[in-house]
Structure 1
Amino acid sequence: IGRAILGTCLKKRYYSVRKSAETGKTNKLKPSLAAQDDWKQWRQRDKQLTSDMFETDMVKALIISKMEYEERKTHPDSGGNGVPQIKRVNQKDKRMNIQGKDKPLTVSLKDFQSEEQHTKKTEDLKSPPGPKLVKQTELLKLEIEKKDTDIQQPRLVISEWEAKYKEMRVKEGEMKDKAVTALHVALEQERSRGKILQAEQVKYQGIKKGKRCSESDHGR
């Protein structure tokens, strides 16, 4: 299980780094210098958060591996599924007196020791984990909770920066739309002014031409 979680952590780290690289490629064009600074800060915080999350996953994987190792160390006779495989000794030497009367059943020293070891192992399996293992487990749990708490704060900061960046993009878009609208209005005004000047020029040229014709008629 620990190896599987460790492999999952490495995959998450790989995809996170790849995603950050692709995000950097697609966001080369920034609207302003202030936006570029905010973007760099946001990417730096995202990178730090990803590193902290990867470190937490690694700690969890190591904790699980250590707990499995301690479990195997405590119960060396347990199989892969955690079920103890205990060999029971059910055979006893029965010796009969051939002379006519049965003697009481006797047990050899070897069988007696085997029965005693079996009883001791059964009691060990029924007994709760030792205080040392419980203390180590509690310390590891506290360490994981502390890591989760430390990661929560950067997550909140990143969410805040994301909201600010989106708001800034919206404001810049509105300013751009206003600037384009004002430019169109100014162009229309210049066109109207040019048409008026052109009409006045034609009118002036017509009046001037009429005066010249009148002067020519009077001279004749």
Structure 2
Amino acid sequence: MMLRSWTLLLMTLVLVMAGCSVHPPVALYQLDGGQPQVPTATDGALVLLGPLTLADYLQRGELLQRQADGSLSVASEAQWAGSLNADVEQLLLRQLAGRLQTPNILLAPAGPGVSADLQVQVSISRLDSGPQMPAVLHAQWRLLDKAGQLQGSRLLQLEQAHQGSLASQVQAQSRLLQQLAEQLATAAVTALKVPAVANPTNKRVAPARKTTPLPPAPPVPPAPPVAPAHGVEVFRF
């Protein structure tokens, strides 16, 4: 009888320990790339996106939460579904392809022999949010032409409100990255613009100056007709 009681007690302890070791399922999140227009053209400017660098604290799978005191905590019930760096790259790539209407967008490094018309370099130093904190993006971008010359650079800081839930926070961060892509596309269009070729046949004609009419000249008596020489053709103009 005592052995049976010990057996029941042991089974109860095992069940209690097993129940304590069960964790709630972890939700996986991905950035929302929006619905950019798929390029219909088969040709266009060759754009190289990258390198893209994220801050060190973003190089992890956990989804971080910004607190009111500025500290960061790990959301134990949520994680990124894969690499956040790769997720941001794909979002920017698809957004730029749709906004620039060119299918020729490559991720750096593109390999030897590739000469891009424009290179877009992006550095993100902050991308986070919290239950009581808005989504914030701090980034810098640089545009380099074919010769490696700087064609544009900007530091930006963007904020986006949300409803507090993790899903709402991820959606807000996605919208910030889409706004970044919009600014990149606007600057890229300016950098890729080819100056209009001057057309020498389309010169601007100066307006005629108004002059005082002169009095009519006296009539000139007609010249006597000239007889053409024999064997010579005479051209009159």
Band of TM-score, shorter chain? under 0.3
In terms of Rg, which structure is larger?
1
Normalized per residue, the structure richer in helix is: 1
TM-score by length of 2: 0.22
The higher-RCO structure (CA 8 Å, 6+ apart) is 1
TM-score by length of 1: 0.23
